[in-house]
Chains A and B, each alone.
Chain A
Amino acid sequence: MLRYVLRRLLQAVPVFLGTTLLIYALVFAMPGDPILALFGERTPNPAVLEALRAQYNLDKPFIVQYFLYLQDVFTGNMGATFSGRSVNDVLAQAMPVTVKLVIMAVVIEFFLSVVVGLISGLRAGKIADNVSLVIALIFNSTPVFVAMFLAQYFVGIKWGWAPVTVGGDTTWGAMLLPAIVIALTIFVTGMRLMRGSVIEAQHEDYVRTAYAKGLTSRRVIPVHVMRNSLIPVVTNTAASFGYLIAGTTITEGIFDIPGVGNTLYQAILRGEGPTVVSFVTVLTIAYVVLNILVDLLYAVLDPRIRYV
């Protein structure tokens, strides 16, 4: 196990260097004035331009610029947003909100995947299976902003069951609606995994043995079928945690949830290019780290992985 962990961490080093280099090169190796290009049609304050040029060391050769930037990333110095707050401050305030939202969404996704996947796996090929597949596909194909608007319009405005926007009220209850919508739009993957492994498990020898020794399906399904089918669903849920931490931009923007995604959303809308780059860097790093953790989780849950 320890060897696997070390190897996985070593593999992550080039990926980490590569991703940061890629983002950096994309933004700052542009011909012309990269800082000016980030603002598009807007003409920024000259003082802001000076500060940014100094922050990214644009007078030095590219590779030196990159390493100085990397040093900033490691020491947690990500610069400041346009309103003058440091990116670290904003993150410290916004990250807990995003994490809370994502945890809710992931828990709901997990239960949806398990329950719907179990039902369609046990009734494979029957009506319940086909109906749940079609419904899951419809949810999955609905672009996240369309789903959010539908929820906002019907649940929030028309029926008044939930607040239309979250705003400063980041309690569990207020964020339940966006969390449910996120879960609905992504649960198809987990549900299909659950369905597939339930179908396979039903044909396993140990399940036949369990029935043969006289156990009822009420005991066989939860203890023998479900337990072994849960592994892929658990890892898929963990993977979607990482994906969602970096992917709540639109949701948080529409529901005005004061998380990291919303900060990025506002920066995009206002055309604050450098702030966008800072936040994308942070979110990408978070995504890379979470993916490593997911891989380690795979190895813990499924011993076969470790020996490949």
Chain B
Amino acid sequence: MSRPTPEHYVAPFEGNDIIEIDAKQLPDRRSNLWLDAWRDLRRRPLFYAALIVALVVATMAFFPTLFTQVPPNDNCQLPLGTRGPNMGAPMDGHPLGFTLQGCDVYARVVWGARTSLTVGLLVVAITAAIGIPMGALAGFYGGWVDSFLSRIGDIFFSIPYFLAAVVVMTVFSEHKNVFVISFAIGGFAWASLARLLRAEVLQVKNKEFVLASEAIGRSKFSTLIRHVLPNSLSPVIVSLTVSLGAAIVAEAALSFLGVGLGSNVMSWGNDISEAQTTIRTAPMALFWPSLFLTLTVLAFITLGELVRDALDPKARARR
């Protein structure tokens, strides 16, 4: 197997001045977009605050029994007799008081996290499942594919997605469940994600590594999947984090209007809607679910904004 190779003259390696200059100047630490962003995030206290809130809410959603032993619907009839000037006031074992029906506010708030997070994650999954292919294909292939997909996106983009969800939920009023409501929200919210990704893909597809990938014989589609898409995902991830918060608000707002989840489902929106009638007499039943809803949304939106900032080298340089 060893072919006789012609002998070459190789300059002696030692004692060559050029070697010093020729050696690659590697930075002492590894560096790429995500690593830099992570380093930036770790320095911001706001990031930890938002992360903790998000984790607490996630734990509440998965293991509500860690937080409360009171079943959310069980003793709803109990303190009806205690109405009066002191209605809904907290008592032992019920730290946040009671709703008009006498349900324990704390238990309902804890159990409500599951609904909100489920709907939020489902909406994000639907938004990504429709928006990413639509945006990526439109941006990468261009031409008539782009015109066709972008016009479809324009149509969905032109309908305010909350109004669209109201119509869908009105039509499906007999099938209110987390899947229908998630489709009602995500089925219209994907258009802005598709627009965002299309713009990003348009920029990335002209980079040298895309040309190189095609030059070594990779098919166009495979180039899109292996090289273009992974390099265009950062704004998508930011947008999806923010839309998780937005989806939770949308679910609560729909439930608040009475076209969201049925009143038998534990949901912050339902509870807020119910408590609005007692805003004068028992404002706390309105306050607590509102607070949890707001904190959750704030946590996800803040995470999204911070990651957006951290991923933007221009913004980093300014700080």
On A, residues with C-beta under 8 Å from B are: 11, 14-15, 18-19, 22-23, 26-27, 30, 34, 37-41, 124-125, 134, 137-138, 140-146, 149-150, 152-153, 157, 199, 243, 246-247, 249-250, 253-254, 264-265, 268-269, 271, 273, 276-277, 280, 283-284, 287-288, 291
Contact = CB atoms under 8 A, between A and B. Distances in A.
A143 B162 CA distance: 13
B226 interface: no
Contacts of B279: 149, 152-153, 157
B79 interface: no
A124 B318 contact: yes
Contacts of A19: 155, 158-159
A23 B167 contact: yes
Contacts, number: 142
Nearest 8 CB-CB pairs, A to B?
A40-B173, A18-B155, A141-B298, A146-B290, A141-B297, A246-B160, A143-B249, A125-B319
A157 B171 CA distance: 37
A291 B158 CA distance: 8
B166 A268 contact: yes
Task: Tell me what chain A mostly uses at the interface: helix, strand, loop, or mixed.
Answer: helix
A288 B257 contact: no
Nearest to B167: A280
B270 interface: no
B167 A277 contact: yes
A287 B158 CA distance: 7
A273 B162 contact: no
Interface of B: 46, 151-152, 154-156, 158-160, 162-164, 166-168, 170-174, 245, 249, 252-253, 256-259, 272, 276, 279-280, 283, 286, 290, 293-294, 297-298, 301-302, 305, 318-319
B173 A41 contact: yes
22 contacts: A14-B154, A15-B155, A18-B154, A19-B155, A19-B158, A27-B167, A27-B171, A37-B174, A40-B170, A40-B173, A124-B318, A137-B298, A143-B293, A144-B253, A146-B294, A149-B272, A157-B280, A247-B163, A249-B166, A277-B170, A280-B166, A291-B158
A22 B187 CA distance: 12
A151 B133 CA distance: 42
Contacts of A254: 276
Contact of A142 (B160, B171, B276, B294): B294
Given A143-B294, A145-B256, A268-B257, A199 B151 contact: no
Contact of B160 (A152, A153, A277, A284): A284
B233 to A, nearest CB: 22
A98 to B, nearest CB: 14
B159 A247 contact: no
Nearest to B279: A153
B171 A37 contact: yes
B155 A22 contact: yes
A278 B253 CA distance: 20
Contacts of A125: 318-319
Contact of B159 (A14, A250, A268, A284): A284
Given A124-B319, A268-B259, A250 B253 contact: yes
Given A125-B318, A250-B256, A280-B163, A38 B298 contact: no
B276 A149 contact: yes
Contacts of A34: 171
Given A23-B159, A140-B301, A276 B290 contact: no
Q: Which of B171, B249, B257 has the most CB of A within 10 A?
A: B171
B124 to A, nearest CB: 17
B46 A276 contact: no
A137 B280 CA distance: 28
